[in-house]
Amino acid sequence: MNPAKASGCGKVVVVSKRNPDQTRARILQAAFEEMRRNGFRAASVDQILADTGLTKGALYHHFPNKAALGHAVVDELIGASICHAWIEPLQSTKDPIAGLLQLLESIPPEKLAAVAQTGCPLNNLALEMSPVDDDFRQRIEAVFRAWREGVAERLRAGQEAGYVAADVDCEQAATFFVASIEGAMGLAKNARDSSVLLACVCGIRRYLESLRPAA
Amino acid sequence: MNPAKASGCGKVVVVSKRNPDQTRARILQAAFEEMRRNGFRAASVDQILADTGLTKGALYHHFPNKAALGHAVVDELIGASICHAWIEPLQSTKDPIAGLLQLLESIPPEKLAAVAQTGCPLNNLALEMSPVDDDFRQRIEAVFRAWREGVAERLRAGQEAGYVAADVDCEQAATFFVASIEGAMGLAKNARDSSVLLACVCGIRRYLESLRPAA
DNA sequence: CCGGGTTCATACTGCTCAGTATGCGAACCG
DNA sequence: CGGTTCGCATACTGAGCAGTATGAACCCGG
């Protein structure tokens, strides 16, 4: 019997036997974790396969080479993750400054501790790959650009609604916001100390509140 | 004849024949440049030697292994560079906020363009090596700590002199300052765009000026 | 001027890694 | 039910890598 049919529903989830989509997803996920540990160039294809229990035949069936695998990790996992964590939650807020602060200050301590260990996967890859692989660089840049523009757009909306001072350059402010967050994650990662993140959240709060209209 | 004696001055500079200190310095410099291009792990010992015209015998005479070479680059070149660029110039200033801004805004455009290509070597190494080599991590952390403490100390002095508001946590502010700069360099490197740096300088200016005492 | 430590060059080793060639069973299609 | 394509496993190759073994030229103290 076909186990896929046996599940008998529209969204079929199969563990056993042939399931190329799931196989591809497993490779992607394991590649993401290996890249988070070791970066892209030091990421071992053999290690990724050992983690998944698959073999080279599977990997090179789904991806032409290691670079394409890395590109897919950026596009499909990291890009989606950034969008989910930093852009989508802002869509519902009227006051962008309050929204951004809420985003930062509602991060649970265990998540802060995790970030202090790994840093931001996007920035890690950016600093490693941008000088040596322009294809990587452009895909990472697309994610950064979406992030910056997502924040800038909300700031502009908040500006028209009177939550942000009229003389603020919203693209500039969004760029600085993103840069500060990435810088904070990098410092915290090297220090292995989540209190660095708390210090930077205080700094960002002070900066964001300086964007308010003069009372 | 000994070419060292032939130069006939106190500060002897010799190109030819035996000069172990200069040989070591050449290796260090070439290693620094190779690490700036490729990071540490992808830095090729053979490439470093090709750049210097030396061979493995020379390198492994001066350094026990590749890791020790990397450590020396951090301690002797990068650490000194950070100190020279970001800590020493502050020592003479009374007003730390003005001093820090002066430091940022007096960077010539060609230097900004260069930074937008390479990023900050310290942060590049930090993100690459901190998860995989604790010795590297601690040496990098020492540099970051000196930087943060150097800035914090000046902020405290400025606080006592009335240039900085009394309620400012100077360590926190220094941490955020360093994080913002590193974040800005990283974003600019990936975007290959020095205007990102200008945007972040504006952000840092706004932040620093928010540290002033209420008029 | 002459041993001995210093400073480097040359040639080699073993390992890790991305990528390939090939084959085989399962699924799908007529 | 036969054939063809898909999905993946196995075994291998060649290149690049850090590190080593060895030796030779140099410099200095005696």
Q: Tens digit of pLDDT for each residue in B152-186?
A: 999 999 999 999 999 999 999 999 999 999 999 99
Alpha-carbon gap, residue B82 to B84, rounded angstroms: 5
CB contact under 8 A, A127 and B128: yes
Show which of residues 53-82 on chain A sit within 8 Å of chain B, judged by CB atoms: none
Q: What is the mean pLDDT of residues A198-211?
A: 98
**B164: alpha, beta or left? (left if phi > 0; alpha if psi -120 to 50):** beta
Q: Is the pLDDT of residue A12 over 50?
A: no
Shortest CA gap A215–chain B (Å): 14
Contact with chain B for residue A149, Cβ under 8 A: no
pLDDT in tens, A121-162: 999 999 999 999 999 999 999 999 999 999 999 999 999 999
Spell out the domains of chain B, with CATH numbers in brackets: 14-63 (1.10.10.60), 67-215 (1.10.357.10)
Residue-level pLDDT at B18: 75
The predicted pLDDT at position B19 comes to: 86
**Average model confidence (pLDDT) across chain A:** 93
Q: What is the largest CA-CA distance in chain A?
A: 72
Residue B1 per-residue DSSP state: -
pLDDT value for B180: 98
Distance separating alpha carbons of residues B45 and B56, to the nearest angstrom: 8
Lowest mean pLDDT among A65-79, B5-19, B41-55: B5-19
Nearest to B42 by CA among A27, A42, A137: A42
In this structure, are residues A213 and A165 in contact, taking their beta carbons and an 8 Å threshold? yes
* Chain B 33-62 contacts with nucleic strand D (CB below 7 A): 43-47, 56-57, 60
Query: What's the pLDDT at A7?
Result: 36
